[in-house]
């Protein structure tokens, strides 16, 4: 095998190793754990490459409603960035598998090409041993009619075999070039996706850090009052939603599959929210719903935005336990309807999986995982 061929196989093996490193647990893209404090002198938003918010340092003596609004916005932005991170991670896993598959095809293709070249070399050596005369010339020198006819058949067969061998060589070389080009394209996509995932991770961490900083600046009494304001706002929203007749005609009974999904999701109540987590010890919002439906035997998209985009949409009036309620205009949050006007969901960092009124957040729509 020539140095060029060895290089191709070495490169293919290197691709497999590199992909393994990129996607292995414990790399720079694993769960970051406790949120780090922002770097001194650089605001999280500046480091993430976005315009910094002027109201990032709301002081405790300001109106707590403004604080609540600010916290809601920070956690919603963190949720949207979490969706972006989860989507990038899902794509990276798929692209990694494709790169590994292509690398294996490169190695197999090179081995096939080597075997074909060895056959061609053997044919050339055989011709050399016969004095370099082509079969056609030797045939014309024969005086025996029977030998002539027999030789003519061998010449035709030899020509067909040589032509077939050349065709196989050309196809093998073309396939090898295609695999190499595809692997390079997939590698570039994987690298771009890695950067997108890293940017989303920074945004999530910075938004959560800003929210935690804002909450930590409040006195104990202010935190308690803030919690009361949040509960009151949720109760008002839920009451208004129920009074609107949104649940008129809603089904009370789940299908067998839906009941399994609800059972799994409600069994996770009390487990902490961790962005990017999909169990078994912690969940983010779409990690909970996707894992619950996987436990029920139905694979669904990983992120709330893809769940909204890909799953069958149903009206609120027609929803039943197990259906997913998508929240906010950007589909950045999701909960599972469990009946009686309630959802089970993983709310946000610092909170645990819980059951709450389905109308406590702005509803974008309802989707049904079952086909």
Nearest alpha-carbon partner for 183 in 45, 15, 24, 366: 15
DSSP H or E run through 343: strand 342-345
Does 3.90.1720.10 match the CATH number of domain 247-368? yes
Does the pLDDT of residue 294 top 90, yes or no?
Answer: yes
Binned at pLDDT 50, 70 and 90, residue 148 comes out as very low
Instruction: Report the pLDDT value the prediction gives residue 150, as an integer from 0 to 100.
Output: 52
Nearest alpha-carbon partner for 266 in 356, 331, 361: 356
Average pLDDT rounded to a whole number, residues 83-110: 72
Report the chain's C-alpha Rg in angstroms: 32
Reported as a single tens digit per residue, the pLDDT across 29-67 is 333 333 333 333 333 343 333 344 444 454 444 477 787
Upstream peptide bond of 96 is cis (omega within 30 degrees of 0): no
Does the pLDDT of residue 144 top 60, yes or no?
Answer: no
- Provide the percentage of residues in the chain whose pLDDT is more than 70: 60
**From 1-10, 206-215, 238-247, the region with the lowest mean pLDDT:** 1-10
Average pLDDT rounded to a whole number, residues 228-237: 91
Q: In 10 A of CB 252, how many CB atoms?
A: 9
Active site residues: 285, 333, 345
Distance separating alpha carbons of residues 35 and 208, to the nearest angstrom: 7
Backbone region of residue 33 per phi and psi (left: phi > 0; alpha: psi in -120 to 50; beta: other values): left
User: Is residue 265 within 8 Å of residue 334, measured between CB atoms?
Assistant: no
Instruction: Report the pLDDT value the prediction gives residue 190, as an integer from 0 to 100.
Output: 72
Does the pLDDT of residue 142 top 60, yes or no?
Answer: no
Does the pLDDT of residue 140 top 60, yes or no?
Answer: no
Reported as a single tens digit per residue, the pLDDT across 333-342 is 999 999 999 9
Helices 3-23/145-216 angle, 10° precision: 30
**From 26-35, 42-51, 117-126, 221-230, the region with the lowest mean pLDDT:** 26-35
Reported as a single tens digit per residue, the pLDDT across 320-362 is 999 999 999 989 999 999 999 999 999 999 899 999 999 999 9
CA distances (Å), 164 to each of 155, 157, 170, 171, 294, in order? Answer: 14, 10, 10, 11, 50
Average pLDDT rounded to a whole number, residues 153-175: 60
- Provide the percentage of residues in the chain whose pLDDT is more than 90: 31
Domain range annotation of the chain: 3-216, 247-368
Instruction: Report the pLDDT value the prediction gives residue 13, as an integer from 0 to 100.
Output: 38
Binned at pLDDT 50, 70 and 90, residue 99 comes out as low
* Confidence (pTM): 0.58
User: Is residue 161 within 8 Å of residue 122, measured between CB atoms?
Assistant: no
Distance separating alpha carbons of residues 258 and 191, to the nearest angstrom: 38
Average pLDDT rounded to a whole number, residues 183-193: 72
Average pLDDT rounded to a whole number, residues 17-39: 36
């Amino acid at each position: 095998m020539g140095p060029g061929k060895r290089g191709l196989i070495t490169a293919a093996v290197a691709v497999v190793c590199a992909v393994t490193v990129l996607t292995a647990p414990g790399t720079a893209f694993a769960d970051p754990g406790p949120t780090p404090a922002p770097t001194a002198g650089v605001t999280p938003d500046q480091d993430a490459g976005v315009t910094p918010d002027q109201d990032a340092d709301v002081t405790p003596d300001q109106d707590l409603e403004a604080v609540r609004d600010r916290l809601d916005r920070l956690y919603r932005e963190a949720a949207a960035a979490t969706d972006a991170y989860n989507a990038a991670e899902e794509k990276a896993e798929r692209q990694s598998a494709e790169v590994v598959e292509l690398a294996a095809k490169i190695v197999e293709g090179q081995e096939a090409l080597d075997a074909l070249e060895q056959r061609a070399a053997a044919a050339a050596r055989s011709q050399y041993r016969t004095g370099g005369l082509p079969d056609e010339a030797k045939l014309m020198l024969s005086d025996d009619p029977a030998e002539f006819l027999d030789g003519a058949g061998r010449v035709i067969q030899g020509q067909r075999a040589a032509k077939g061998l050349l065709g196989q060589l050309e196809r093998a070389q073309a396939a090898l070039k295609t695999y190499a080009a595809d692997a390079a394209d997939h590698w570039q996509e994987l690298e771009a996706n890695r950067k997108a995932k890293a940017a989303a991770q920074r945004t999530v961490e910075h938004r959560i850090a800003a929210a935690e900083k804002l909450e930590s600046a409040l006195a104990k009494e202010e935190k308690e009052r803030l919690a009361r304001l949040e509960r009151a706002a949720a109760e008002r929203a839920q009451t208004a939603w129920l009074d609107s007749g949104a649940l008129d005609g809603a089904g009370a009974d789940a299908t067998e599959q839906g009941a399994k999904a609800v059972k799994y999701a409600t069994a996770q109540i009390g487990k902490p929210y961790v962005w990017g987590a999909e169990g078994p010890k912690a969940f983010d919002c779409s990690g909970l719903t996707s894992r619950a439906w996987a436990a029920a035997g139905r694979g669904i998209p990983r992120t709330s935005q893809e769940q909204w985009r890909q799953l069958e949409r149903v009206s609120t009036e027609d929803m039943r336990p197990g259906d997913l309620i998508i929240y906010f205009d950007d589909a950045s949050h999701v909960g599972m309807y469990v009946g009686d006007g309630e959802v089970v969901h993983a709310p946000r960092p610092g909170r645990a999986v819980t059951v709450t009124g389905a109308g406590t957040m702005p509803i974008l729509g309802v989707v049904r995982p079952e086909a």
